[in-house]
Structure 1
Amino acid sequence: MAPSLKSIRFHPWYSVSVVAWLAFCHPGMFSALNGLGASGEESAGLSNTVNAVTFGALTVGGFFTGIICNYIGFRWTLVIGTLGYAPYAAALYTNAAFGNTWFPILGGLTCGVSGVHLWTATGAVNLVLPPVSQRGRAVATKFTLQNFGGFIGGILAFGLNASGSVKGRVSDATYFTFMSIMCLGLPAALTVPRPEQVVRSDGSKIASHKFQSLREEFRGLKKMLSSSNFLLLLPFFLYCQWDLSYMWTWNAVYHSVRARGLLSAFFYLIGPTIIGPIQGYLLDKTSWSRRKRARIGSVLFAITSALIWIFGLVVQYQYDHRDLTVAIDIVDPVFAKSFLLFVLYGLLENSSMVVMYWILGSLGLSAGEVASLVGLAVGLGSAGSTAAFIIGAKNVALVWQLWANVITFLIGIPGLLYVAWFRVVEDTVVDAVTSKRLENEPSLSEEKSRNSIETNLVPGVGADVIVSGLVRHSKELTEPKVTSVKY
């Protein structure tokens, strides 16, 4: 019997898929536009200023959108998150076509306000709704579609500007295409179900967060801000999105229009779209404990990132001696070096986000705490981006912008490694705080207890009897109260 539309809509992966689609239409197209360098314009000056406004709004909003998401719910937070991206693209078009300067600033603000809602809600959906063993893949799916959007946007830009073998801005059709795609997310966001309607394949439901009062929410936010996990991860949050300004400006400064489009496309294709799902699968590999996955994954990420930044420094010092009036085009031999480095930058950018979100979902936090921490991570990551774009707008030499990235990486990575090594909890703990089960239905921890006891049964006493007694006692001590979200 085929599943009903209702059962499909109430399955966790429906919400995960919608989130991925929104990531494709909105951050994906935003990334594609910026991945062209200078948001498709000839000079990066105004683009850096607009993006500083965007990420500034994301920074401020990140401290409050967790509370907003807990109050109005995932669906309406996602809806708000779809509204501000198209005005951003439209504003950049009016500047390119008519020289308008105030509208891009306003567009940057609307994009930032929407973006912080979208990022907070998408992170919470992926770290709360799917089963524990599928959350790495859920996060990777979101970033895969988001970066595939960047790839498609880059290919469209390359096709629409294929004759642009010199420097300049992209065609008007490029902006119109991006604006159209940015309008497609809203209808899908309206179909996302409430968390209490979601039923996982094993029959479990979601242990949702109950919004009590603003005072209680701010008290929880204050507690989160003073927690050791947050303080340890704070430098890494700042690092995660610091690199965007440098990478996008680097593409614009050295390359022709069509080369920028091609580089942007493969920046998002190879590392994020192809390798990203593999990363998510390995993070969900249940044959290893969650702590083992965290330790191996974080160490590999740190080593890979360090090697990519070293390669970036080598190339940057070589390009510092180039004549900037001669753009690197796709037919030039040196383009191969640019291509390899930009692909590796795409891998670096995506991997840092997947690792960060997976770690946030591995700390044993409740649904409400996850939303708050994701909002803070978005806000602080955006603070890093804001600082980087301000530096870019001041026309600081690219080599020093690169060194700023390297320094923030070196400062941020120790805290990430410490949390991954010592603070990540096992699947059973994560499952306990985010799942709600029907009466007599075993949880993941109960199943593991039963399996271990069955090998050493007390004569004459069944495993079910022993486990039920243990579970009854443990629930009295540890089981979180389950209530519903207010919508």
Structure 2
Amino acid sequence: MSDLEEKKVETTPEVSPPAEEHVASTERPTGWMYRERKLGPITIPWYASPKVQLTMVSFVCFMCPGMFNALGGLGGGGKSDQTTADNMNIALYSTFAVFGFFGGSIVNRLGVKFTLAVGGLGYCIYAIALLVSVHSTHTSGFSIFAGALLGVCAGLLWTAQGTIMLSYPHEGSKGKYFAWFWSIFNLGGVIGALIPLGQNIHVKTNSTVTDGTYIAFIILMFVGAVIALFLCNASDVWREDDTRVVLMKNPTWKTELMGLYETILSEPYIILLFPMFWSSNWFTTYQTNAINGSYFDTRTKALNNVLYWSSQIIGAQVFGNALDSERFSRTVRAKACLVVLLVLTMVIWGGGYDFAKQYTRATVASADFVPMDWSHSGYVGIMFLYMFYGFYDAAWQGSTYWFMGALTNSGRKMANYVGFYKGIQSAGAAVMWSLDSRKVSFMAEFASNWALLTFSLLCAAPVIFIKVKDHVTIEEDLVFSDETLADVVPITHPEKVAV
């Protein structure tokens, strides 16, 4: 009998009867949500399965933040003047930082379905504000409000998404679930980028995209918010092995807010991951504004956008599946991942330095400057650099999520981890958008990225090398004073106590 099995047997007699909402039969229910369906030779999982639920969340993000990314990837939110978008993004990431921190508490309290639906609405309001700003110069108040509102909504949406993605799958599937989610999500960026590419295919100047582009984004974003309403509650989700996800029993605002404090108190090593969280959106401003938004004409910006988000899909698939490879232990995979990220940081950003030396803000602001078009000599090399930046983004995000998932299996703790991640990430982004709005030099932006990313990996090394284990037991996850095994584990079979 393995050590894990011994722990399960020892733990089972001590489990007190779970609350009524956690009582489960010895097998999966027979309602419509739990029936597999055949589509020819293909078996479609039951509606309340982790695979279907994560797919639906992926399409919510496909429609909402995916389209937002496609719009933002053009630089300046698709506008030739980047000032409005910069100010909106400062407001966005400032409120995002606050609600990212407390997003885990809100998700645990309100549930993932309504949190995602409310979160999705902010994206279409943001796109509406950009469209209005194209036709009026007196909408700065509405633009800032839309940015701040999106920060609140995005904080809720991304915390709910992260909680689902990291707590629904088993330990050995978290990387694959990330790859699946990130691919669908960034497919939204790809398709969203094809919209301005098709509508601006002949535009060889650096100009604002058409009204039709904004209208298409607004409609798609609204549809994404509606899709969220069709999700199941987390308490209804059953895995393939007849276990259910970790649930909290009627959390209160007090216990949830205390959870943030207790996470730091009981696991102070998580602070070493904060620089990695901070830098995870720091480079977005440089890539979208300093490179794509400033150096290229409108149609080439749109093409670069398509290639960038396509490269994200490749990066997600490569890292997500490699991190779940069973050929090596999880501890080995974690250490190897850190080393690979360090190598990629040196190689990709080293190539970026060679490109960054070629122009400045004064260069692109000059009346003699001709934006680069895909037909110009030298474009191919820069194109591949931009694609590698997209690949690197997915590798960084996927590794960060996987590292967090390797530290716990508890849905409650995961919500707090993701809340810290999104909050700190957004605070960093707010600072960088503010620096960009103040016209900090492109080289200073580049140097801050390269230095911060390298420093982040060095800070994270002790956590990766010491704290990541091959398996996290249930007992290790029960660190909160008001939490017991019966509170967090919905029992199906006593021998299958699992999270």
TM-score between both structures, scaled by the size of structure 2: 0.85
The code of the aligned residue for 1:329 comes to: D
- Relative distance call for 1:212 and 1:440 in structure 2 (3 A) is closer
Aligned residue in 1 for 2:442: 398
- Mean CA deviation greater in 281-290 or 116-125: 281-290
* Offset from partner CA, 1:365-391 (integer Å, 9 cap, x none): 521111011011100000110010000
- Mean CA deviation greater in 340-349 or 131-140: 131-140
Shift of the alpha carbon at 1:342? 0.9
- Relative distance call for 1:172 and 1:65 in structure 2 (3 A) is same
- Mean CA deviation greater in 428-437 or 252-261: 428-437
- Relative distance call for 1:435 and 1:216 in structure 2 (3 A) is closer
C-alpha distance in structure 1 between counterparts of 2:322 and 2:497, whole Å: 23
Matching of residue 232 in structure 1 with residue 272 in structure 2: yes
Shift of the alpha carbon at 1:224? 1.9
C-alpha distance in structure 1 between counterparts of 2:81 and 2:130, whole Å: 12
Aligned residue in 1 for 2:55: 17
Aligned residue in 1 for 2:172: 133
The code of the aligned residue for 1:317 comes to: K
- Relative distance call for 1:245 and 1:294 in structure 2 (3 A) is same
C-alpha distance in structure 2 between counterparts of 1:431 and 1:167, whole Å: 58
C-alpha distance in structure 2 between counterparts of 1:184 and 1:5, whole Å: 24
Q: Point out where structure 1 has 5 or more consecutive residues left out of the alignment.
A: 445-479, 481-487
Q: Secondary structure at the match of 2:306?
A: helix
Aligned residue in 2 for 1:407: 451
C-alpha distance in structure 1 between counterparts of 2:91 and 2:388, whole Å: 28
The code of the aligned residue for 1:353 comes to: Q
Matching of residue 35 in structure 1 with residue 73 in structure 2: yes
- Mean CA deviation greater in 145-154 or 434-443: 434-443
Matching of residue 305 in structure 1 with residue 345 in structure 2: yes
Matching of residue 354 in structure 1 with residue 395 in structure 2: no
- Relative distance call for 1:5 and 1:255 in structure 2 (3 A) is farther
Aligned with 1:344 (options 364, 377, 388): 388
Aligned with 1:327 (options 357, 368, 371): 371
* Offset from partner CA, 1:227-253 (integer Å, 9 cap, x none): 323211011111111011111112111
- Mean CA deviation greater in 72-81 or 380-389: 72-81
Q: Point out where structure 2 has 5 or more consecutive residues left out of the alignment.
A: 1-29, 35-45, 478-487
* Offset from partner CA, 1:145-174 (integer Å, 9 cap, x none): 221111111111111001111111111111
Aligned with 1:379 (options 423, 437, 440): 423
The code of the aligned residue for 2:33 comes to: K
Q: Secondary structure at the match of 1:396?
A: coil
- Relative distance call for 1:4 and 1:280 in structure 2 (3 A) is farther
The code of the aligned residue for 1:264 comes to: N
C-alpha distance in structure 2 between counterparts of 1:178 and 1:390, whole Å: 25
Root mean square deviation, CA, Å: 2.0
Aligned with 1:6 (options 33, 44, 51): 33
The code of the aligned residue for 1:303 comes to: V
- Relative distance call for 1:306 and 1:392 in structure 2 (3 A) is same
C-alpha distance in structure 2 between counterparts of 1:371 and 1:323, whole Å: 43
Aligned residue in 2 for 1:452: none
Aligned residue in 2 for 1:439: 493
Aligned with 1:143 (options 176, 182, 186): 182
Shift of the alpha carbon at 1:97? 2.3
* Offset from partner CA, 1:225-284 (integer Å, 9 cap, x none): 3432321101111111101111111211110000100001100002x1123122211111
Aligned with 1:317 (options 357, 363, 377): 357
- Relative distance call for 1:6 and 1:212 in structure 2 (3 A) is closer
C-alpha distance in structure 2 between counterparts of 1:233 and 1:365, whole Å: 18
C-alpha distance in structure 1 between counterparts of 2:474 and 2:352, whole Å: 38
- Relative distance call for 1:439 and 1:237 in structure 2 (3 A) is same
- Relative distance call for 1:442 and 1:87 in structure 2 (3 A) is closer
1:265-284 mapped onto 2 (5 Å cutoff): 265-270=306-311, 272-284=312-324
Is this contact kept in 2: 1:23–1:143, CA < 8 A?
Answer: no
Aligned residue in 2 for 1:198: 237
Q: How many residues align?
A: 442
C-alpha distance in structure 2 between counterparts of 1:55 and 1:177, whole Å: 24
C-alpha distance in structure 2 between counterparts of 1:26 and 1:37, whole Å: 18
Q: Secondary structure at the match of 1:232?
A: helix
C-alpha distance in structure 2 between counterparts of 1:409 and 1:430, whole Å: 33
Q: Secondary structure at the match of 1:327?
A: coil
C-alpha distance in structure 1 between counterparts of 2:96 and 2:225, whole Å: 20
C-alpha distance in structure 2 between counterparts of 1:379 and 1:147, whole Å: 21
C-alpha distance in structure 2 between counterparts of 1:344 and 1:435, whole Å: 42
Aligned with 1:222 (options 244, 261, 269): 261
- Relative distance call for 1:299 and 1:443 in structure 2 (3 A) is farther
Shift of the alpha carbon at 1:440? 4.1
Shift of the alpha carbon at 1:74? 1.3
C-alpha distance in structure 1 between counterparts of 2:86 and 2:269, whole Å: 32
C-alpha distance in structure 1 between counterparts of 2:237 and 2:329, whole Å: 27
C-alpha distance in structure 2 between counterparts of 1:314 and 1:188, whole Å: 44
Shift of the alpha carbon at 1:323? 5.6
